[in-house]
């Protein structure tokens, strides 16, 4: 299934991107951040004779699937994001306890390896010592952008970014608050912490 991350994109961009994608693909999964976009995509599905399914993950995150009539859509068409409800939380600049340089290398490899999984996380949440990873100059920035482009939500704690003086240096994902972090962790089916 071809995936489009249209979070933050105003209409009609999500519809335009989905329309273009359906010219080359039998199935499209598009993430949007408002209900109006989901309605516009529903109208597109009717115009293009596609089935339409929509799931709402939050007030600002909707996943819409458009599948051409008669299409055989297997799970082998690419990484799965929706429905694979696991959340990764990263709260340190290193992975594990021991040598910090080894821990830094392990965490960088862990984040890269996430991009290669058949089942991608629904989201990755950064807080405390983990927030520098979403900022300019991070060695994991390209891997995180790759995840985001595949529909994985990336969040960083705003209070933590402020504490470290990094708020203006965020280069991937969204800034969030502790209330939302608790809500996302509480409602996740599984939490993975490196």
Domain ranges of the chain: 2-77, 86-192
% of the chain exceeding 90 in pLDDT: 62
86-96 average pLDDT score: 95
Matching CATH number, 2-77, of 3.30.420.40, 3.40.50.720, 3.40.50.2300, 3.30.110.40: 3.30.110.40
- Residue 10: per-residue pLDDT: 81
- Residue 11: per-residue pLDDT: 79
CA distances from 137 to 5, 100, 156, 170, 174 (A): 23, 18, 16, 10, 17
Would you place residue 119 in the very low, low, confident or very high pLDDT band (cuts 50, 70, 90)?
A: confident
- Residue 118: per-residue pLDDT: 80
Taking 90 as the threshold, does the pLDDT of residue 124 lie above it? yes
- Residue 93: per-residue pLDDT: 96
Mean pLDDT of the chain: 89
- Residue 117: per-residue pLDDT: 84
In the chain, which ranges are continuous DSSP H helix? 13-24, 35-47, 100-115, 141-149, 158-163, 178-187
What is the pTM assigned to this prediction?
0.59
Would you place residue 13 in the very low, low, confident or very high pLDDT band (cuts 50, 70, 90)?
A: confident
Would you place residue 83 in the very low, low, confident or very high pLDDT band (cuts 50, 70, 90)?
A: very low
pLDDT in tens, 138-163: 999 999 999 999 999 999 999 999 99
- Residue 9: per-residue pLDDT: 85
Write the burial class of residue 41 (CB in 10 Å: 0-12 exposed, 13-18 middle, 19+ buried): buried
Taking 80 as the threshold, does the pLDDT of residue 78 lie above it? no
- Residue 63: per-residue pLDDT: 92
For residue 75, whether the previous peptide bond is cis, meaning omega lies within 30 degrees of 0, is no
The first and second tokens of residue 166, run together, are 């990094």
Fold of 86-192: Hypothetical Protein Ychn; Chain: A, (3.40.1260)
């Amino acid at each position: 299934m071809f995936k489009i991350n249209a979070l933050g994109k105003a209409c009609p961009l999500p519809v335009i991107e989905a329309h273009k994608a359906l010219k080359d693909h039998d199935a499209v999964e598009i993430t949007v951040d408002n209900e109006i976009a989901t309605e516009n995509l529903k109208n597109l599905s009717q115009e293009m004779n596609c089935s339409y399914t929509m799931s709402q993950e939050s007030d600002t995150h909707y996943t819409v699937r458009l599948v051409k009539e008669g299409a055989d859509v297997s799970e082998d068409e690419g990484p799965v994001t929706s429905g694979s409800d696991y959340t990764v939380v990263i709260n340190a600049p290193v992975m594990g306890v021991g040598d910090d340089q080894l821990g830094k290398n392990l965490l960088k490899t862990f984040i890269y390896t996430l991009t290669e999984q058949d089942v991608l996380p629904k989201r990755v949440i950064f807080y405390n010592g983990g927030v520098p990873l979403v900022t300019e100059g991070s060695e994991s920035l390209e891997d995180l952008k790759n995840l985001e482009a595949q529909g994985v939500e990336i969040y960083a704690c705003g209070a933590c970014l402020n504490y470290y003086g990094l708020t203006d240096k965020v280069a991937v994902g969204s800034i969030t608050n502790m209330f939302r972090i608790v809500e996302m962790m509480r409602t996740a089916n599984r939490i993975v912490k490196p």
